[in-house]
Amino acid sequence: MSDQPGDDGEQETEPKPKKKKRPFWQELPILIGVALVLTFVIQTFLARVFVIPSESMEQTLHGCAGCYGDRVLVDKLVYTFNDPAPGEVVVFERPSTWNRSEFTSQRSDNAVVSWLQGIGALFGMAAPDEDDVVKRVVAVGGQTIECGPDNRVKVDGKPVDEPYVYWDPMMGEAKQDQFGPITVPEGKLFVMGDNRNNSGDSRSQGGGGVNGLVPVENVIGKVRAIVLPPSRWQGVGDHDPQSLSAPAWQVGIPAGLGIAAAWPTLWLGRRARRLLPFIHSGPQPSTTEPSPSSKPPTADRLVRGRPPGEGGGW
């Protein structure tokens, strides 16, 4: 037998040293790196912040050259399974048929500054070095759009309802150029700015508007909300200009008709609930003639306030 210690199978276990917590200055670069990766993934595949560079979408979206324009959140997933619909505000890559003379790169010639500008663009703090445009969809594939002497845009011969339209007083008369009719091919969009007399959109690209059509595949996403500045926090609506519009006094008609139609149903329902206990229970069998005071209470409730023989239905 061995007389070496530990032969009895019992070995002393030394306590494991506690893992030292890293100082914050060592963890900070890791946190920044993770944040940048997550931001890149989110803005590449899910949503992205864009800067509004011009006033063509006033007063829905604010922007101008040299000022702090709205920062908008653009949903990049919504059109994965559906195409843009009339009334939706979209961001898209400027088609090759559009006038590109308006676009100038905003990147610095300095490599470091240019890199910082690229990082800022990811967070919506600087304009991206991309030729992207934001407009509102007015007509989609298969529809015919035009604007005549009456200054009204029509789709398939019907005037559209555009409460979002703004007329820039600096541009003179509140009037838009005539165009069309143009039949939009499938897979294309006809887009216009809300600042109707100060917007370079599908109308102004030549070819009578044909050159201004936007391929659906150029669409980056749908504008969901204004995220900066805080004073402008709000969602961005997508009022359908082709929806049936009615004067204000007619707006309450559907609700009024619904209430009027529901009232008889509610009244009959009350009557039915009062009858159910009597129908289900019925008169109780008795070997003796019931006295007036022993009449079923349900029957007494049903005839309360209505003398026998008096007209009136349930």
List the beta bridge partners of residue 307.
none
Cβ proximity of 220 and 92 under 8 Å: yes
List the beta bridge partners of residue 266.
none
CA distance 227 to 233: 5
Could you confirm whether 56 is annotated as catalytic?
yes
Is the preceding peptide bond at 59 cis, omega within 30 degrees of 0?
yes
Q: How many CB atoms lie within 10 A of CB 116?
A: 14
HSE-up of 113 (CA within 13 Å, CB side)?
5
Q: Using alpha carbons only, what angle is made at residue 15 by residues 13 and 18, rounded to the nearest 5 degrees?
A: 155
Q: Which of 16, 18, 21, 56 is the catalytic position? A: 56
Q: Which of 2, 19, 101, 135 is the catalytic position? A: 135
CA distance 198 to 203: 11
Could you confirm whether 291 is annotated as catalytic?
no
**Residues annotated catalytic, as ranges:** 56, 135
